[in-house]
Chains A and B, each alone.
Chain A
Amino acid sequence: MPHDDHDHPHALLPPEPALRVKALETILTRKGLIDPAALDEIIDTYQNKIGPQNGARVVAKAWRDPDFKSALLKDATSVVADLCYYGRQGEHMVVVENTPEQHNMVVCTLCSCYPWPLLGIPPGWYKSDAYRARAVREPRKVLAEFGVSLPATSSVRVWDSTAEIRYLVLPMRPDGTDGLSEDELAALVTRDSMIGTGLPKVPS
């Protein structure tokens, strides 16, 4: 039943990856199974509409509004749905909060699970063998490669996304940001700070 076929059908397609994609797209289009305009729409969505700016908005709101933050930590799925950030690969959201005592970091060792509606399509490094293999075993060495060094007083909790739950890290609000607007705060929130491999920017 697992179909361990040594002659995988994919070998019938051209080996060069761009041509392989093109060949399959052409076959499916000729049979009416895909609509090229739908492909353009999907690409446009993830290139231009859905990305880390969504997650940054959520973080900025949580930094400014304690009630929003406590609701977010309790039931992120419904809170982000109210902001219209529900969708594919974000059906079951959990937000985990960084504190001086605990730093959170997210990985998917088995594939590339990632909260698409809040962060978009994962960056290349998130899907790399090196990150998938090492983030769970040596998170501090991996963080150092991102230029992040944690004090020994902080523990690291790594979340391996093995089910359909998607995790977003709520980073600590940087010092010196009192009185900033939601937009100004959102501009400090990097994608990596919401994966846990980075920290927010500090206002200049």
Chain B
Amino acid sequence: MTRVHDMGGRFGDGPVHPDPDDAPVFAEEWHGRALAVTLAAGSLGQWNIDISRHARERLSPKDYSRFSYYEKWISALADLLVETGVLSEEDLRGQTSDEAHPLANRALKAEAVAGVLANGGPADRPSNVPVKFEIGQEVVTARPAANRLVDGGHTRLPIYAAGAKGRILMVHGTHVLPDSSAHQLGEAPEPLYAVVFPASQLWANPEHPEDEVVLDLWQSYLEPL
């Protein structure tokens, strides 16, 4: 049921080590290359953001834990390129040909970069799923926290918030459902809410009685209380 990326609340990770404000954006030159290769490959249009997130989550727990941040990106990208048929395993082995690829006409050009980054990729969509909850209403999250469409599939309900009682804080409109979109089952847009939980709903020993955690959760993750 669990995947290694779902680490909210986990014990044992040690202290956070803040960087100074003037630390370089990319600590190593290859970090920037990894980010840029990933963004440029994404603009070939062969996957969406949910598919790419899930590709990182599907790294084996051993790889996910030992890889640094951008190693996860580049390794998941290689996996995705092969899974989608853009590259073959022979290509990755270096036994590649220099023939123009059928998708080469989609390659992101330098002059298009500014426009692509500025346009972004909004996730809100019209939906005919009626809005079920209003601000202030009490709700409870699904338990277990899991994709209901695909076993072991992508979901954005963290384990630590499964079966927790909270209250609707904001209604964000209707957004693409990652549980469906990550598996090419359609965008299935539905209402998305910010839901606020008292820390005492989530943790055995909250630090302060008034502390809270807010999560953005889709309507199908929630039931009325």
Task: Annotate B46-78 by CB proximity to A: 1 below 8 A, 0 otherwise.
Answer: 000100011010111001000111110011111
Q: Is the Cβ of B211 less than 8 Å from the Cβ of A130?
A: no
Report the minimal beta-carbon distance from B33 to chain A, rounded to whole angstroms.
5
The residues of B that contact A39 with a CB separation of less than 8 Å are 33, 36-37, 40
Q: How far is the CA of A156 from the CA of B210 in the complex (A)?
A: 7
Count of A interface residues, CB-CB < 8 Å: 93
The one of A87, A132, A159 that contacts B120, using a Cβ cutoff of 8 Å:
A87
The one of B7, B74, B114 that contacts A132, using a Cβ cutoff of 8 Å:
B7
The residues of A that contact B56 with a CB separation of less than 8 Å are 111
The residues of A that contact B21 with a CB separation of less than 8 Å are 52, 190-192
Beyond known contacts A3-B83, A8-B75, A109-B158: 5 more, CB 8 A cutoff: A2-B54, A31-B99, A110-B158, A158-B214, A165-B194
Q: How far is the CA of A43 from the CA of B67 in the complex (A)?
A: 22
B contact residues, range:
35 or more
Q: How far is the CA of A37 from the CA of B36 in the complex (A)?
A: 10
Report the minimal beta-carbon distance from A169 to chain B, rounded to whole angstroms.
12
Sorted from nearest, which 8 A-B pairs have the closest CB atoms?
A109-B8, A32-B104, A163-B216, A155-B210, A10-B75, A164-B123, A37-B110, A39-B36
The residues of B that contact A78 with a CB separation of less than 8 Å are none
Q: How far is the CA of A160 from the CA of B7 in the complex (A)?
A: 12
The residues of B that contact A145 with a CB separation of less than 8 Å are 15-18
Which residues of chain A (14-41) have a CB below 8 Å from chain B?
A: 17-18, 20-25, 27-28, 30-35, 37-41
Most buried by A among B18, B107, B151: B18
Q: Is A1 an interface residue (CB 8 A)?
A: yes
If A88-B117, A157-B214 touch, whether A141 touches B207 (CB-CB below 8 Å) is yes
Q: Is B188 an interface residue (CB 8 A)?
A: no
Q: Is the Cβ of A43 less than 8 Å from the Cβ of B33?
A: yes
The residues of A that contact B93 with a CB separation of less than 8 Å are 12
Report the minimal beta-carbon distance from B51 to chain A, rounded to whole angstroms.
11
Q: Is the Cβ of B37 less than 8 Å from the Cβ of A132?
A: no
List residues of A whose CB falls within 8 A of some B CB. Answer: 1-6, 8-10, 12-13, 17-18, 20-25, 27-28, 30-35, 37-43, 45-47, 50-52, 84, 86-92, 94, 107, 109-112, 117, 120-121, 123-125, 127-134, 136-142, 145-146, 152, 155-165, 190-192, 197
The one of B35, B71, B82, B157 that contacts A43, using a Cβ cutoff of 8 Å:
B35
Report the minimal beta-carbon distance from B42 to chain A, rounded to whole angstroms.
10
Q: How far is the CA of A183 from the CA of B40 in the complex (A)?
A: 35
The residues of B that contact A51 with a CB separation of less than 8 Å are 25
The one of A12, A109, A160 that contacts B89, using a Cβ cutoff of 8 Å:
A12
Which residues of chain B (175-211) have a CB below 8 Å from chain A?
A: 175-176, 178, 183, 192, 194, 196, 202-203, 207-208, 210-211
The residues of B that contact A197 with a CB separation of less than 8 Å are 18
The residues of A that contact B10 with a CB separation of less than 8 Å are 129, 133-134
Q: Is the Cβ of A9 less than 8 Å from the Cβ of B113?
A: no
Q: How far is the CA of A111 from the CA of B213 in the complex (A)?
A: 17
The residues of B that contact A136 with a CB separation of less than 8 Å are 8-9, 160, 202, 213
Q: Is B142 an interface residue (CB 8 A)?
A: no
Report the minimal beta-carbon distance from A166 to chain B, rounded to whole angstroms.
10
Q: Is the Cβ of A133 less than 8 Å from the Cβ of B7?
A: yes
The one of B23, B29, B117 that contacts A87, using a Cβ cutoff of 8 Å:
B117
The residues of A that contact B114 with a CB separation of less than 8 Å are 41, 45
The residues of B that contact A89 with a CB separation of less than 8 Å are 120
Q: Is the Cβ of A92 less than 8 Å from the Cβ of B35?
A: no
The one of A117, A120, A124 that contacts B27, using a Cβ cutoff of 8 Å:
A124
Report the minimal beta-carbon distance from A174 to chain B, rounded to whole angstroms.
16
Report the minimal beta-carbon distance from A96 to chain B, rounded to whole angstroms.
9
If A1-B153, A33-B103, A47-B25 touch, whether A41 touches B192 (CB-CB below 8 Å) is no
Q: How far is the CA of A158 from the CA of B175 in the complex (A)?
A: 22
The residues of B that contact A30 with a CB separation of less than 8 Å are 96, 98
Q: How far is the CA of A5 from the CA of B172 in the complex (A)?
A: 36
